């Protein structure tokens, strides 16, 4: 095996037989191993591989395919292997092309003839699919917990934001003032759909492929349902070909993670804007910003930028796998080994991004004066003026035109909007009061709207949603 930095330390000279040595006269070429090994990345699945082997060997004994003595010898070898892998003292050899091969080799070294029975009725095709499903269940649940961690930060900042308001934008043009809490929770609700999606993916992928064998099942009296339940799966496969060739769940996981990344990217983009001198809506804590190697005055929002920038990579991981799957004939093909690296990468990157953004937002300082000064531009209340006319019987389209004309006049320098409104016989001084700073946001009273009463209710609804999601992620 050629050595690259990610590769496990091989013991070098030792090289056990390949799993297929009986059929082959010659051993594997160095180039073949270098190109086809998956050990450098599938090592991560070792605990799932051990769990799968334990369940398999117990199933073999329950079905009297092996004796209880043989089962216990293999289980004890699996215990030793586990201890070595978790202590980092496990020795890989050159012919360990993947984690499945490495574990089986070691178990056979430790338990001899009994170990040689471990792979009875099993193929690496159902084995690697089992391992990856177990991993994906665990990893997506962990990501969901981290998503909730970010939601809790948004909730906390929203609950403490009080009546602070800022411009709400459409087309990145100031549209109407909104409470800061409302803005923060908009991202929070998007993330709660992510949690829901991750949990739905976990529920759908909760199917054991173990017992499908290479593709067609077995002549031995295996008990796939028994091993499924032993491994904590909710269900067992219905079709052995589908069981070993299905990677829909990896594609779904990659989509879920890419969409989380897209949500984080949108948050990131706003924080890049908010922390710019032009906006000045927020300042980053020193611990969550970077400086410049050359420009002494700089304080840069690198976390927010990478939350935006790394999203391309997560979308790439999804599209890459979809292309790999497209056109593959049934059942297992080695192409399917390409399922793991994108999944691991997306899980790792989203986990890092969630932690970094949560810390960045938790520690940042908002600048209400800047937000409110931007929101208090007089024309921000234009819609309130039109709605004021509507409440007094003017058709909305006419009201829109009346106010639009006054906006045009104020932009042409004919006076402040408040003056023009006060002097207009359809509007007058009562209406002009709507243009005063801080008034407009209080008028967004509809359910789910951006004003104080509606947002107070929303905060409690969001808190309840987060609590219930926590219970769904980790049912007690």
Instruction: Please give the residue ranges that form the binding site for ligand ARG (CB under 6 A).
Output: 38, 42, 98, 124-125, 128, 332, 334, 336-337
Q: Which is nearer to ligand ARG, 90 or 332 (CB)?
A: 332
Q: For residue 96, how far is the Cα from the chain centroid?
A: 31
In the complex, the smallest distance separating the C-beta of residue 119 from ligand ARG, rounded to whole angstroms, is 12
Q: Does the annotation count 240 as an active-site position?
A: no
- By CB atoms closer than 10 A (0-12, 13-18, 19+), residue 180 is buried
Of 3, 86, 292, 468, the catalytic one is: 292
- CB contact at 8 A, 244 and 128: no
Is the four-CA dihedral 111, 53, 136, 212 of positive or negative sign?
A: positive
Q: Does the annotation count 171 as an active-site position?
A: yes
H-helix or E-strand spanning residue 200: helix 180-205
* Residue 387 dihedral angles phi and psi, to the nearest 5°: -70, -30
Q: Which two tokens stand for residue 167?
A: 């411009």
Strands (E), 250-291: 282-283
In angstroms, rounded to a whole number, what is the distance separating the alpha carbons of residues 161 and 143? Answer: 27
In the complex, the smallest distance separating the C-beta of residue 47 from ligand ARG, rounded to whole angstroms, is 16
Of 171, 219, 293, 476, the catalytic one is: 171
The set of residues, in sequence order, having a beta carbon less than 8 Å from that of 54 and lying 6+ positions away, is 75, 78, 230
In the complex, the smallest distance separating the C-beta of residue 314 from ligand ARG, rounded to whole angstroms, is 21
DSSP 183-196: HHHHHHHHHHHHHH
Q: Which is nearer to ligand ARG, 132 or 147 (CB)?
A: 132
Q: Which is nearer to ligand ARG, 215 or 225 (CB)?
A: 215
In the complex, the smallest distance separating the C-beta of residue 66 from ligand ARG, rounded to whole angstroms, is 23
How many Cβ atoms from other residues are within 10 Å of residue 199's Cβ? 17
In the complex, the smallest distance separating the C-beta of residue 358 from ligand ARG, rounded to whole angstroms, is 33
In the complex, the smallest distance separating the C-beta of residue 41 from ligand ARG, rounded to whole angstroms, is 9
Is the four-CA dihedral 318, 320, 322, 324 of positive or negative sign?
A: negative
The set of residues, in sequence order, having a beta carbon less than 8 Å from that of 127 and lying 6+ positions away, is 49, 52, 100, 210
- CB contact at 8 A, 104 and 56: no
The two beta strands, 365-366 and 282-283, are: antiparallel
- CB contact at 8 A, 114 and 66: yes
Q: Which is nearer to ligand ARG, 58 or 124 (CB)?
A: 124
In the complex, the smallest distance separating the C-beta of residue 132 from ligand ARG, rounded to whole angstroms, is 8
Q: Which is nearer to ligand ARG, 30 or 411 (CB)?
A: 30
Q: Which two tokens stand for residue 69?
A: 């003595």
Q: For residue 171, how far is the Cα from the chain centroid?
A: 27
- CB contact at 8 A, 360 and 284: yes
In the complex, the smallest distance separating the C-beta of residue 292 from ligand ARG, rounded to whole angstroms, is 44
Q: Which is nearer to ligand ARG, 237 or 462 (CB)?
A: 237
Q: Which two tokens stand for residue 54?
A: 């334990």
- CB contact at 8 A, 344 and 320: no
Q: Which is nearer to ligand ARG, 321 or 459 (CB)?
A: 321
Q: Which is nearer to ligand ARG, 96 or 270 (CB)?
A: 96
Q: Could you give the residue numbers annotated as active site?
A: 171, 292
């Amino acid at each position: 095996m050629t050595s690259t930095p990610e590769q496990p330390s091989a013991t070098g000279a030792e090289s056990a037989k390949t799993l297929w040595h009986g059929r082959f006269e010659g051993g594997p070429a160095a180039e073949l191993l270098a190109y086809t090994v998956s050990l450098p990345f599938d090592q991560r699945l070792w605990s799932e591989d051990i769990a799968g082997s334990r369940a398999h060997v117990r199933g073999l004994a329950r079905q009297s395919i092996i004796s209880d003595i043989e089962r216990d010898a293999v289980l004890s070898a699996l215990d030793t292997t586990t201890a070595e892998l978790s202590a980092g003292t496990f020795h890989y050899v050159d012919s360990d092309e993947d984690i499945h091969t490495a574990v089986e080799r070691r178990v056979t070294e430790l338990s001899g003839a009994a170990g040689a029975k471990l792979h009875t009725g099993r193929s690496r095709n159902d084995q690697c699919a089992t391992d990856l499903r177990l991993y994906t269940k665990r990893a997506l649940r962990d990501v969901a917990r981290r998503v909730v961690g970010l939601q809790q930060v948004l909730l906390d900042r929203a609950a403490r934001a009080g009546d602070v308001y800022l411009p709400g934008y459409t087309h990145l043009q100031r549209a109407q003032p909104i409470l800061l809490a409302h803005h923060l929770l908009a991202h929070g609700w998007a993330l709660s759909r992510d949690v829901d999606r991750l949990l739905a993916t976990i529920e759908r992928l909760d199917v054991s492929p173990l017992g499908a064998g290479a593709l067609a099942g077995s002549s031995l009296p295996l008990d796939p349902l028994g091993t499924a339940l032993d491994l904590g799966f909710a269900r067992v496969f219905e079709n052995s070909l589908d069981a070993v060739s299905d990677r829909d769940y990896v594609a779904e996981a990659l989509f879920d993670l890419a969409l989380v990344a897209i949500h984080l990217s949108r948050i990131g983009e706003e924080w890049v804007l908010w922390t710019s001198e032009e906006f000045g809506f927020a300042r980053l804590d020193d611990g969550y910003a970077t400086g410049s190697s050359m420009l002494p005055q700089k304080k840069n929002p690198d976390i927010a930028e990478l939350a935006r920038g790394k999203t391309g990579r997560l979308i790439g991981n999804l599209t890459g796998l979809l292309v790999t799957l497209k056109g593959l004939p049934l059942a297992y093909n080695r192409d399917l080994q390409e399922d793991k690296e994108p999944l691991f990468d997306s899980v790792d990157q989203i986990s890092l991004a969630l932690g970094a953004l949560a810390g960045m937002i938790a520690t940042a300082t908002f600048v209400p004066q800047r937000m409110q000064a931007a929101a208090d531009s007089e024309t921000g209340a234009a819609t309130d003026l039109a709605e004021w006319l509507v409440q007094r019987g003017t058709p909305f389209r006419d009201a829109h035109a009346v106010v639009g004309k006054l906006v045009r006049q104020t932009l042409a320098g004919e006076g402040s909007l408040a003056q023009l409104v006060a002097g207009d016989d359809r509007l007058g001084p009562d209406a002009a009061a709507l243009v005063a700073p801080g008034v407009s946001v209080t008028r967004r009273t509809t359910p789910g709207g951006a004003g104080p009463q509606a947002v107070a209710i929303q905060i409690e609804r969001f808190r309840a949603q987060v609590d219930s999601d926590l219970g769904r992620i980790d049912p007690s």
